[in-house]
Amino acid sequence: MDDARGTLSYIAPVFRVADLKRSLAFYRDQLGFGLDFCYEGFYVSVSRDGCHIHLKCADPTPRDQAAFERDESIDACVAVQSVEGLSAAFEAAGVAIAVPLRQKPYGVEFYVRDLDGYVLAFV
């Protein structure tokens, strides 16, 4: 295959977080992500099963969280092979489920809100 145009490896949303250690602990200990790297103590990459999220210690961008969630907006969408199993594992780990399992035309989904208000959809 001709790689002259470049091959994409992955995409990672960058979440601005108030407390990097707290956010890292949440993604690692409750969501099961592993630490890929830490850059100068203010920027980390975490991943799980090839899905990456970057966390940057900075003031989160202001938004109307209530309106964001009322409109069922999300910050990242993650495709999952066993969404029911993942939901059960997250609940067992003490993760607060923002939107419980539900059937949609495109599949079964649930939402999780992280400690800084970012909403991840697992479908």
Q: Model confidence over 46-87: pLDDT tens digits?
A: 999 999 999 999 998 899 999 998 999 999 999 999 999 999
Structure tokens at 29: 């200990």
Pick the CATH number of 14-122 from 3.40.50.720, 3.50.4.10, 2.20.28.10, 3.10.180.10: 3.10.180.10
Q: Where are the domains of the chain?
A: 14-122
Q: What are the C-alpha distances in Å from 112 to residues 1, 38, 68, 91, 101? A: 39, 24, 13, 10, 11
- What's this model's pTM, rounded to 2 decimal places? 0.91
